[in-house]
Structure 1
Amino acid sequence: MSAPRGKAASPFRQPKAVWAVAFACVISFMGIGLVDPILPALGKSLHASPSQVSLLFSSYLIVTAVAMLFVGWVSSHLGAKRTLVIGLAVIVVFAALAGTTNSINGIVGFRAGWGLGNALFIATSLAVIVASASGGFGGAIILYETALGLGIAVGPLLGGELGGISWRGPFFGVAVLMAVALVATLAFVPSLPKPKHVVSPIAPLKALRHRGLLTMGIMALLYNWGFFTMLGYAPYPMELSAHELGLVFTGWGLLVAAFSVFVAPRLQARYGTAPVLYANLLGLGIVMAVIAAGVGTPTVVIVAVIVSGAFIGINNTLTTQAVMLVSPVERPVASSAYGFLRFIGGGLAPFVAGKLADATDLSVPFYLGAATFLLAIPVLASGHGLLRKAEAHTGDSEPVTPSFTPVGSPAATSDAPPVIVAVGAHDRASAIVDAAARVARDTGSPLEVVHVQQTAVIEEQAVDTETADQARAAVTAHLDRLTAHGIAATGQILTGVGDHAAAGRALVLQPRLV
């Protein structure tokens, strides 16, 4: 694989459109962590029980789940920018309304509206950033990962600071910051072309008829049940102030971000998706059981919650990759189907946990959460063969030929090993291919131009970095140029899911290229 010489372009040298959406992503990723430090204060100020307060998670997540079924249809009608803008506007309105109400039922209702805006935003934000990026998608992905880490880590800290002033502070804080992001998006993000075909609103439900997608979705539902049980109820036994809770969940958020972006891909590359998920779900089950057993000791709960961030970061990334690997449908449809199931699990968990805590004691919801983590292991095992087969087919290729073949063009026939040049869609690609062509000429070797059509997966978001037509055009353009100069070459398009290392593995797994 060739690499261009010279200083690499900074991933942070992006158009204003990318920065506008990245800022909105930071605020969006703050969302849950921003509210967590104020849960005890919220209940005390509004005279609400923990089970009543937990409903602000349930309403938010259940509405997000149902909305995920329709966001593809909305986006295909309105386009990505309009969908993004509507989502931001809805979040601004309902976050502000949540800060003005004087009842827990009012907050629960307004959080439901917030969930609708969240679904519209998360379904389009990564796609808009990738589409608006300059110099290839790599820099945009790094910027998105940075926004994710910053939002997850800073959200609880800001929530604790604002919550220390008033429980209304985090709600108004989100409204103001999202309003800034909305204005920046309107000003700097250009209109993006609508998809070529309209997505049916029932397509995600139909997609769940595929066994692999349904299996991974149920696993995600069980995982999110345990996750949101912890997130919704762990603040109570800690017995901390809003500021102190903010610091605890900041430590948790730092581990989520670090293990999601840096550790999960390395573990997957070494051990495979399924084995890492088995071990990770077991680890989460143990941590949750520790919280349940030590619910009367705040220090035990605090340490266990912070440690859980490492497991959650790994699980978020690899679960999404597992879904994309086994999915036989388009990425937006698969994401909607998967999002529906996982958010349903997250929405039901706090409600059930509240009922159990009221009827028994605070340890029981955590024991149930531990059980759902462990139950996810046999569910994943039931689809192990499908996932292993999907991973084995990562790197499947599609041959590409030149658009024309001039008379007298030599055939690429040689017993010598081929010279392989893997290129992306960037302005230095032609120089790389030309250098490879000179090597092939000097060694009498056939030349193969390879391009990886990549699905980027960042925590719980996934997006195709280009369409099939764009990937094909990236290869055909080089083949046509080489053919015009009398240089014979063949081309291939490979598929990869994950980071750049996954693209490299796609090359290695292709039999013709080794």
Structure 2
Amino acid sequence: MIKRFPPAVWATTFATLIAFMGIGVVDPILSQIGKAMGANSFQVEWLFTSYIAVMALSMLISGVLGTIFGGRRVLLIGLGLVVIFATASGLSPNLVVLATVRAGWGLGNAFFTSTALSIIVGASSASMSEAITLYEAALGLGIASGPLLGGFLGSFWWRYPFFGTATLMAIAFILTFTLVRDPENKEPPRGPQDIFIAMRHPAVLTNALIGLAYSFAFFTILAYSPFTLKNISSMSLGFTYFAWGILVGISSVFVVNWLRPLLGTIRLLVLNLVGLVAVFAVAGFVHGSSLLLVIVISGFFCGIANALFTTLAMEVSPYSRSISSGAYNFVRWAGAALAPVISGFIGDKFGAQVPFFVSGAILLIGMLALVIRSSTMETALAATGHAHGE
């Protein structure tokens, strides 16, 4: 399997790891930032929402730009922007400036993530499922490593995690510039309207909307839950979310590939969402060390969901890789953008545990929608030759 991935794929995979590391690097230092800048949880959550909202909107054009100018150029632009804005984040004098430059960071990450999967799939000689597995492994390791890096560097000063991420992204930029070339089977140029055309496809839209509900829940765990863990050091939080991320990686790479052929994609996703709804229900009742354990356990279900939603985005769609990825990511990142500020507001107004119940309810609606639309999804998989998890 390793021989099927040329150096360009490994360089892009490493950059993917660092990119997703940057998402969670602020997790353990959110409380420190709030104290340093005199902000409550709702205000601090704008660091996530500004980042993810710009990322979601940018998905409308980032994948399209890859088909016009080439994936390599868009990758390099994205990595360069992250280096610049991650550095600016570490230098920010107040929360408004920090939220603004985090938005610029989101723009860079959109340019990168929308193109990375397409390059990994297009440049490898492995199957699509194997290429997606590699992408999900990088995603899981990145999500796991980000909080650990943030916790370690944040234990010295809350600004250091931003500088550390900028340094790692600079290394990824050099590797990408040196090793990555555009795949030979280039996609024809596309326009932003193609993404909206793709979203008219019943299965593409269904997967994206349910992915939105899931992403809301996912970022309640990643972006909001640190505020419920009072009097815990940044290093301890880093280890908690590292363990969570490790489970995300293990389940997205190994567990999915084991269970998917046995149960089928749709049935496995439904059962997994049932388990995740139960986890959120429990999270609403527990506190302290028990909540830490529940957060870590949620990583198992999040990893399976990450892999299945990404796979479905490519497999139910009759459109090109960049358009399929762009349509899915635009909708699902919208849910991710809403989660931090809404959860922060609800937590401040109604109690710190209430956002877990809200996220569980939204996830339950998504799961029921998947059950209702399962025949549509199965038909789309059969039409593209991916029925029954093949």
> Shared fold by TM > 0.5?
yes
Deviation at residue 69 of structure 1 after TM alignment? 0.9
Q: Distance in 2 between matches of 1:320 and 1:82?
A: 23
Corresponding residue for 1:388?
A: 378
Secondary structure in structure 2 of the residue aligned to 1:234: helix
Corresponding residue for 2:36?
A: 45
Residue 266 (structure 2) pairs with residue 274 (structure 1): yes
User: Quick one: which of 196, 199, 202 aligns to 1:205?
Assistant: 196
Please tell me the residue identity of whatever aligns with 1:279. Answer: L
Please tell me the residue identity of whatever aligns with 2:212. Answer: L
User: Quick one: which of 256, 272, 281 aligns to 1:289?
Assistant: 281
Q: Is the 8 A contact 2:115 2:322 kept in 1?
A: no
Q: Is the 8 A contact 2:4 2:126 kept in 1?
A: no
Query: Comparing both structures, which one devotes a greater share of its residues to helix?
Result: 2
Residue 195 (structure 2) pairs with residue 181 (structure 1): no
Corresponding residue for 1:242?
A: 234
Deviation at residue 352 of structure 1 after TM alignment? 1.2
Corresponding residue for 1:89?
A: 80
Q: Distance in 1 between matches of 2:2 and 2:268?
A: 32
Q: Distance in 2 between matches of 1:86 and 1:105?
A: 25
Distance 1:141 1:220, change over 3 A: closer
Secondary structure in structure 1 of the residue aligned to 2:192: coil
Corresponding residue for 1:374?
A: 364
Deviation at residue 189 of structure 1 after TM alignment? 2.7
Q: Distance in 2 between matches of 1:291 and 1:247?
A: 19
Q: Distance in 2 between matches of 1:72 and 1:322?
A: 18
TM-score by length of 2: 0.92
Q: Distance in 1 between matches of 2:263 and 2:55?
A: 33
Residue 287 (structure 2) pairs with residue 321 (structure 1): no
Secondary structure in structure 1 of the residue aligned to 2:155: helix
Q: Is the 8 A contact 1:325 1:497 kept in 2?
A: no
Residue 326 (structure 2) pairs with residue 336 (structure 1): yes
Distance 1:272 1:145, change over 3 A: closer
Please tell me the residue identity of whatever aligns with 1:226. Answer: A
Secondary structure in structure 2 of the residue aligned to 1:374: helix
Secondary structure in structure 1 of the residue aligned to 2:341: helix
Answer 1 or 2: higher relative contact order, Cα 8 Å, separation at least 6: 2
- Please, which runs of 5 or more residues in structure 2 have no aligned partner? none
Deviation at residue 355 of structure 1 after TM alignment? 1.9
RMSD: 2.3
Corresponding residue for 1:263?
A: 255
* 1:71-150 paired onto structure 2 within 5 Å: 71-132=62-123, 136-137=125-126, 144=135, 146-150=137-141
Question: How big is each residue's C-alpha offset from its partner over 1:250-288, in whole Å with a ceiling of 9 and x where there is no partner?
Answer: 110010000001111222211122222222112111111
Please tell me the residue identity of whatever aligns with 1:57. Answer: F
Secondary structure in structure 1 of the residue aligned to 2:39: coil
Q: Is the 8 A contact 2:316 2:384 kept in 1?
A: no
Question: How big is each residue's C-alpha offset from its partner over 1:446-472, in whole Å with a ceiling of 9 and x where there is no partner?
Answer: xxxxxxxxxxxxxxxxxxxxxxxxxxx
Corresponding residue for 1:33?
A: 24
Corresponding residue for 2:340?
A: 350
Deviation at residue 353 of structure 1 after TM alignment? 1.4
TM-score by length of 1: 0.71
Secondary structure in structure 2 of the residue aligned to 1:362: coil
Q: Distance in 1 between matches of 2:45 and 2:269?
A: 28
Please tell me the residue identity of whatever aligns with 1:336. Answer: G
Deviation at residue 13 of structure 1 after TM alignment? 8.1
Aligned length: 387
Q: Distance in 2 between matches of 1:144 and 1:347?
A: 22
Q: Is the 8 A contact 1:61 1:115 kept in 2?
A: yes
Deviation at residue 14 of structure 1 after TM alignment? 4.2
Q: Distance in 1 between matches of 2:121 and 2:50?
A: 31
Corresponding residue for 1:301?
A: 291
Distance 1:211 1:66, change over 3 A: same
Distance 1:13 1:205, change over 3 A: closer
Q: Is the 8 A contact 2:199 2:327 kept in 1?
A: yes
Deviation at residue 12 of structure 1 after TM alignment? 9.1
Q: Distance in 1 between matches of 2:236 and 2:43?
A: 23
User: Quick one: which of 335, 339, 353 aligns to 1:363?
Assistant: 353
Q: Is the 8 A contact 1:77 1:194 kept in 2?
A: no
Q: Is the 8 A contact 1:215 1:382 kept in 2?
A: no
Q: Distance in 1 between matches of 2:373 and 2:2?
A: 41
Q: Distance in 1 between matches of 2:359 and 2:330?
A: 20
Please tell me the residue identity of whatever aligns with 1:55. Answer: W
